[in-house]
């Protein structure tokens, strides 16, 4: 019987709260003896799906279409969900409710066939997976943190208080969470285009997260308003070198007056206390 699990995660914490526990990855319902194909190998499968028919797969994806077909639920989903690529058909053997566009899913099944072009999920041949286990989750659920470091360090520039709450290190991405409090009478303009991390002299810009689970703070923060949220960066080692987090280019509206730069230095190893 198909198991469907809803996973709700509180990814944003208040300034004085503790980080949420990291969930274990969902275990396959009926693991087979053969090694499962994962997201890492999926580009090869996608290029020649016929050659992979019969193989077991355990995949993470983001749904972009859900269609009921007879007694099945057809999910069209991006396996490369960062870039909206590697579209794949997942056939769920019932009309399970509660799966919708932009949901993240963790699925186990076997590659049953090559999907007919134009049927449900596009005009190109795609692998079609017969699903035996499905977990509906969010972005943090499909990329759980291996380690979470609570920072909780506040910096204030001219009446604007920004707290670097915590950093989450996942296998495929790093997530940094903030709280912004605008104590000014003017609107604050602080967009993610001005947010970077610096590691060993190289600057890496923030990636605006796609999908449910990580809401980014809005770039326009009204007077007397508090915003919470996080941003995605490429994967970093939790035991790597110190990370400098810089948020630049903040301005007041409508004057365009510069607020300044918030800068934190974080040592993931914990050997050096956060500084700003």
Summarised one tens digit per residue, pLDDT across range 128-182 is: 999 999 999 999 999 999 999 999 999 999 999 999 999 999 999 999 999 999 9
Predicted local distance difference test score (pLDDT) of residue 95: 66
Classify residue 271: in a domain, yes or no: no
Classify residue 276: in a domain, yes or no: no
The answer on 240 and 162 residing in a single domain is: yes
Predicted local distance difference test score (pLDDT) of residue 274: 59
In 3D space, the residue among 163, 160, 182, 187 whose CA is nearest the CA of residue 226 turns out to be 182
pTM of the model: 0.79
Predicted local distance difference test score (pLDDT) of residue 270: 63
The answer on 8 and 137 residing in a single domain is: yes
Residue 217 has pLDDT above 60, yes or no: yes
Which domain-ending residue is among 142, 157, 172? 142
Which domain-ending residue is among 115, 142, 169? 142
Nearby residues of 154 by Cβ (< 8 Å), 6 or more positions away:
15, 161, 162, 163
């Amino acid at each position: 019987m198909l198991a469907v699990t809803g996973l709700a995660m509180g990814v944003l914490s208040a300034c004085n709260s503790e980080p949420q526990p990291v969930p274990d990855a969902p275990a396959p319902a009926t693991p087979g003896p053969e090694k499962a194909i994962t997201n890492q190998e999926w580009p090869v499968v996608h290029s020649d799906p016929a050659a992979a028919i019969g193989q077991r797969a355990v995949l993470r994806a983001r749904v972009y279409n859900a269609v009921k077909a007879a007694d099945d639920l057809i999910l069209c989903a991006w396996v490369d969900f960062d870039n909206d690529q590697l579209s794949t058909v997942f056939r769920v053997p019932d009309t399970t409710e509660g799966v919708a566009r932009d949901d993240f899913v963790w699925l186990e099944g076997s590659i049953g066939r090559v999907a007919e072009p134009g049927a449900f999920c596009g005009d190109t041949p795609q692998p079609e997976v017969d699903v035996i286990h499905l977990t509906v989750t969010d972005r943090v659920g499909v990329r759980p943190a291996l380690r979470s470091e609570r920072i909780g360090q506040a910096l204030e520039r001219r009446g604007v208080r920004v707290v670097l709450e915590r950093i989450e290190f996942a296998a495929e991405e790093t997530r940094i969470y903030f709280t912004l409090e605008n104590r000014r009478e003017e609107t604050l303009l602080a967009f993610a285009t001005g947010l970077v991390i610096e590691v060993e002299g190289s600057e890496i810009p923030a990636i605006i997260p796609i999908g449910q689970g990580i809401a980014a703070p809005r770039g326009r923060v009204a007077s007397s308003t508090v915003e919470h949220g996080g941003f995605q960066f490429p994967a970093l080692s939790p035991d790597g070198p110190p990370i400098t987090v810089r948020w630049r280019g903040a301005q007041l509206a409508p004057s365009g007056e510069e607020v300044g730069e918030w800068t934190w230095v974080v040592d993931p190893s914990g050997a050096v206390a956060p500084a700003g």
